[in-house]
Amino acid sequence: MISVSEAFLIVQENLPTPMKEIVDLNNAYSRYLAEDILAPEPSPRYTNSAMDGYAVRWEDVKSTSSEKPITLSIAGESQAGIPFSKSVNRGEAARISTGAALPDGVDTVIRVEDTQELDNSVQILSVREQGQDVRYQGEEFQTGELLLSKGIQLSTRQLAMLGAVGIQNFNVFSTPKVSIIVTGTELVTSDDKDIKPFQIRDSNKVMLTSATREAGGKVISCEHIGDSLENTREMLEIVTDKEPDFILCSGGVSVGRHDHVKKAAEKAGFTELFWRIRQKPGKPLFAARRENILLFGLPGNPVSAFMCFTHYVRPIIAHMHGQSMAHKSVTAKTSSGITNHGKRTNFIRVKVEFAHGEVPRITEVGKQGSHMLSSIANADGYIILEPGEILTPDSLKEVFLF
Ligand code: AMP
Ligand code: MG
């Protein structure tokens, strides 16, 4: 049996190479950029008005005061989308709307509220400074400046910016493909109406499918098989042909007479990376590789399967998106004492309470059995406690967040 850190190291030595693909802006939500994006044009694209009002020459209006308003004749209009085609001369103003191009000859905008329009002329009632309410070409960024860095996850805000500068196609990291094989003769589908007293509803299927999506992977197949060596080998060969990046098996990986995943994987051409980790839950975890395909034989106990996915598989998916493999964590204070009396590293599920301006507090979830899904459903993360480690109340401890 190996330690948690040894297992993680073996994972790190067997990382798949992140792949890229070109995606269209409209299909890029939640993907991870695989290239730096440089501005193909400046922003704003052209010098324009920040307000509805009048575009004027500062020279003409600078002496304005409430006692002495200045009157300018209206030369025309610059509308958003329809620029003023001529130049504004001395003693003139052009009506202008927000976002409309600043006409030649002017350098300042007077907002409507500071004016009084008369017949074909406008009275300027107050001014602040030269260039007021003008948005200059390139004041946000110039052509060639870095807009978004490689590795960033594209959400609403980044997509809007790409749309604003007309970038339609770009490189993102390819979504890792995951095949799931759920083993167990005792399993029926979760909605089975005729479930027998000795049968179990399959919860790992929905859990692993959802965990894969949450991590940024795509489930390309999901099958259930009974506990048979031959069926398991055959199914492994079928899904291997689909060229997934990962095969996640659930169950059948311990030392029972009907646990066939390990042997079947070897028969299907996979080479073992490790089997069994000194940890609780999740001891039977099996990892193997065939060329570029990583296989994880997750324990059948739902909590064990989830913890193994979270601690070992999710970071690999993050790596394939150009992300760090580090588990997201916060430092928190224990509410009560927690001790590991056992011989294995414990992944203890905890609830985390965040209070404004305070160190977050953690409370151990009461029932920690590896078959007790309430221990993850009602938790926010886990702490890792080594054998013999004792946490007194108010100890600071790193919590890995789900
Ligand atoms: P195994 O690792 O196959 O020995 O299974 C360990 C325990 O997890 C057994 O109690 C199984 O019934 C249970 N189990 C296995 N697979 C699933 C599953 N897909 N959903 C829920 N429980 C499961
Ligand atoms: Mg089983």
Residue with token string 């103003």: 93
Q: What is the pLDDT of residue 227?
A: 98
Average pLDDT of the chain, as a whole number: 98
Return the ligand number nearest the Cα of 202: 1
Q: Is the CB of 300 under 6 A from ligand 1?
A: yes
Q: How many residues does the chain have?
A: 402
Nearest ligand, measured from the Cα of 185: 2
pLDDT at 125 (0 to 100): 97
pLDDT tens readout for residues 333-342? 999 999 999 9
**Ligand 1 pocket residue status of 186, Cβ below 6 Å:** yes
Closest C-alpha to ligand 1, atom 17: 300
CATH superfamily of 329-401: MoeA, C-terminal, domain IV (2.40.340.10)
What type of residue is 173? F
pLDDT tens digits for 132-161? Answer: 999 999 999 999 999 999 999 999 999 999
In CATH, which superfamily holds the domain spanning 48-135? Answer: Molybdopterin biosynthesis moea protein, domain 3. (2.170.190.11)
Please work out whether the CB of residue 88 comes within 6 Å of at least one atom of ligand 1.
no
What mean pLDDT comes out for the span 250-254? Answer: 98
- 295-354 per-position pLDDT tens digit: 999 999 999 999 999 999 999 999 999 999 999 999 999 999 999 999 999 999 999 999
Mutate to test the pocket of ligand 1, among 181, 183, 190, 200 (most ligand atoms within 8 A of CB): 200
Q: Is 182 in the pocket of ligand 1 (CB under 6 A)?
A: yes
**pLDDT tens profile 35-64:** 999 999 999 999 999 999 999 999 999 999
Give me the percent of the chain exceeding a pLDDT of 70: 100
pLDDT score for 381: 98
Residue 66's pLDDT is 87
Listed residue (123, 122, 124, 94) closest to 106, CA to CA: 94
20-44+139-173 placed in CATH 3.90.105.10: yes
Q: Cα–Cα–Cα angle for 207, 369, 252, nearest 5°?
A: 55
Tokens of 268: 């299907």
Q: How many CB atoms lie within 10 A of CB 46?
A: 14
Tell whether the model's pLDDT for residue 190 goes beyond 90. Answer: yes
Compute the distance between CA of residue 314 and CA of residue 316 in angstroms, rounded to an integer. Answer: 5
Which of these, 354, 363, 353, 349, lies nearest to 395 by C-alpha position?
363
Contact 42, 142 (CB under 8 A): yes
Q: How far apart are CA 151 and CA 36, in angstroms?
A: 8
Ligand 1 site, residue 202, Cβ cutoff 6 A: yes
- Domain residue spans in the chain? 4-18+175-320, 20-44+139-173, 48-135, 329-401
Copy the structure tokens of residue 344: 């294995």
Query: Which residue CA neighbors atom 15 of ligand 1 most closely?
Result: 300
Topology given in CATH for the domain delimited by 4-18+175-320: Molybdenum Cofactor Biosythetic Enzyme; Chain A (3.40.980)
103 within ligand 1 shell (Cβ under 6 A): no
Identical fold, 4-18+175-320 and 329-401: no
Atom of ligand 1 nearest to the CA of 204: 19
Which pLDDT belongs to residue 160? Answer: 98
Q: Is 78 in the pocket of ligand 1 (CB under 6 A)?
A: no
pLDDT surpassing 90 at residue 397: yes
Amino acid letter, residue 321: H
Q: How far is the CA of 302 from the centre of ligand 1 (A)?
A: 7
Beta carbon of 252 within 6 Å of any ligand 1 atom: yes
pLDDT for 14 = 98
Task: Determine the pLDDT at residue 345.
Answer: 98
Ligand 1 binding pocket includes 251 (Cβ within 6 Å): yes
Q: Indicate the top mutation candidate among 196, 250, 260, 374 to test ligand 1's pocket, ranked by most ligand atoms within 8 A of CB.
A: 250
